[in-house]
Chain A
Amino acid sequence: MNKNDVVRDLRKIVGSGNIEDDELILKLYTRSASNIDGSAIAVVFPRSSEEVSNIVRYCYKNDIKIYPQGSASELVGSSTPYSDGIVLSFEKMNKVKEVSILDSYVITEPGIRLFELNQLLAKYGYMFPVDPASVKSASVGGAINNDSGGMMGARYGTVKNWVLELELVIPDEHGTILRVGSKTMKYRGGYDLVRLIVGSEGTLAITTSATLRITPIPENIVTIGGFFQDMRDLMETVIDVKTKGIELFVMEFIDDKTVESACRTMNLKIKGEGHYLLTSIAVAREASERVLSTLESLYRSHNVVQLYKARSQEEAEKMGLLDIRRALYPLAMKIAHESRRDPRSKMFVEMEDISVPPSKLIEAVNRLRSLEASFGIPMVIGGHVGDGNIHPIVWVEETDRDKLKTFYEMIKEIRRIGTELGGTFSSEHGVGIKKKERLVEEFEFKKSLKSLEVMKEVKKIFDPKGILNPGKMF
């Protein structure tokens, strides 16, 4: 179909202010944090589920592909569109429809950012407890479809634990609107389609509304941050804390190179050398001192060099105990850019996303370090160590053609570590375009390629013509 006709027809559905085909806008909405640029016929901004349904019906009839998009902060190419379709941006569907404290839920459109949702919920003393480092940009729709996790993952897990009900538009000839799940904590009405959609990367259905579980902000949170000379000591502290059965709120780490860069470039109230481990526990106010001293003695028994304690979340924030960890990716970007040679070339900075069972953390870190040595590509590591999720970050300059091949080989090896140690290459960032090959390898390793066939069949049921976010995941 002619591009101008498509734009004209879709304009009739959404109104003239809600569709764009200007060249500059197309470039802006076909880029993402993944570093992969796409292309598209137009960007469409629906305002309601009914509009989404009408768009889908039109696209189904005319074989036009649909690429849903929230804030485009994904890192794997899962939102990348191609020239055969339209970007469906949820930027304008960003209203919170209902907050119920009694029933512990919020109903919202998909376009709102998690940070803004939590600003609203904080007024009630509540929160939606999934806090990816990208919380200030990540939208509800993106977080659901990526099954995002974050720093509080050690306690609250990922999005999949916090979605009660979804309104969806499926890519069939009618643009059918489905409503799955319920507003209750318990629900056993057939197969669990809610959790099938969570993490499906916009390949099965379009999320137009979500009922999310919310939880009270804990009464108090105590935090301890410590620097270790030896990564082994840090990891043994993690294992010790976890085997003591202490219920974690946050447990995160960054390595010595990132710490060095943080102390040099950030305006921090804390200073240290070596690798940094941060642990927070949600407590009743009266238990604060007792829990802190237990943590302190565990840290000390593993040779912590400098140690900082905060008796409340406010104090932890004031001291910068969390900021130093939050800055992992930006700091890696800074270190990467310091090594850039050509001012006009981009740095390819890849944040990997492996998970291993916590008992395998030491082995995983040792294997990562030996990859760095054998490939000669710089790496920093950090991540959500409390749940075994490590983010190794590596970089290369766009124009350094010789190194690019080695770079991608090294990334393959990094991903393999997750799978081989009983974990995964993909914990919270998804598969998208970049990790499709590894998805096959992981199932091969598990001798379970049939699982992949089942997934492809599921995709066909939801999307018989293959028009919704094609080319992703498989």
Chain B
Amino acid sequence: MSAVETTYREALRQALIDAMEQDPDIVVMGEEVGLYGGAYGVTKGMLEMFGPERILDTPISEPGFVGAAVGAAMSGLRPVVELMYVDFVGLVMDQLANQAAKIRYMFGGQIGVPMVLRSQGGTGRSAAAQHSQSLEAWMAHIPGLRVAMPATINDAYHLLRHALTLPDPVVFLEHKGLYTQKGMLDVSKPDGPWGKALVRRPGNDVTIVAYSKMVQESLIAADMLAAEGISAEVIDLRTLNPLDDATLVQSVRRTHRAIVVTEAHQTGGFSAELSARLHELCFDHLEEPVVRVAGEDIPIPVSPALERGSVPNAQLIAETGLWLVKRQAPGWAAE
């Protein structure tokens, strides 16, 4: 089959439909996934296609239905739970981190929890402090959970399809700013295998590591840098667990410089993990310290300009790259 143009939202929906057609044990559950079609429209029309036995609208009882998904996953079903906003993960962290993530291990390998928790995060809608966060670090910190964060339309489809074949719990994090974006989907051809980071743009002078929406900002930044004569390599992590540090290391040993970009807060964020690994594994190859360009360490403000100012953008990534590679200080550089 050849590639077709579609949206991130449609690709996710298609992945769910194709997987459900193949695997009768998959059920979708969550708030507004049925009649409403999903808060961001990912499950639109699926209630009609699969019926209320497989598309379950839940009450607003997150710990209850996520816990029920864990039990169902232990008992023959493969639930896909939609958590409407990743910010609500605070409510279900016990079921995810203490239960789903640990059941296989605590019980000596007797049983797994094959479920997918889909959610979405990020800024861009003036949705304020409780509906705009990027909380992947919370989950990436927990052994036993896989974490995927697709940046492209093709990955939205294929990573979700793959997640729905895995024996262990997967946290699948989408970005609210990507749903309506268009791109090519080839259902017969994944961008790459699950667990492998991909070079989205090759380059020689600096490596930019990102995932989810920040891949796009990084690609724009690479264009800006190219105009300044700097060749930036952009790597899309795709999954945070498994974490493919080999691809990063290979790149950074060649470029000798790296910028790690996340929308999430800097302090204690996944950018810190990436930076640490690069320092550890590329120490003798680095010309400069690995630099993190991350979200400010503040709650997300509602006012649009403040919201935009609280997270990185292409401009900031490019300015950092220019400074790092060419020692050209940006306007905001402290004296």
Do A and B interact with each other, yes or no? Answer: no
Query: Which residues of A are at the interface with B, using a C-beta cutoff of 8 A?
Result: none
Query: Which residues of B are at the interface with A, using a C-beta cutoff of 8 A?
Result: none
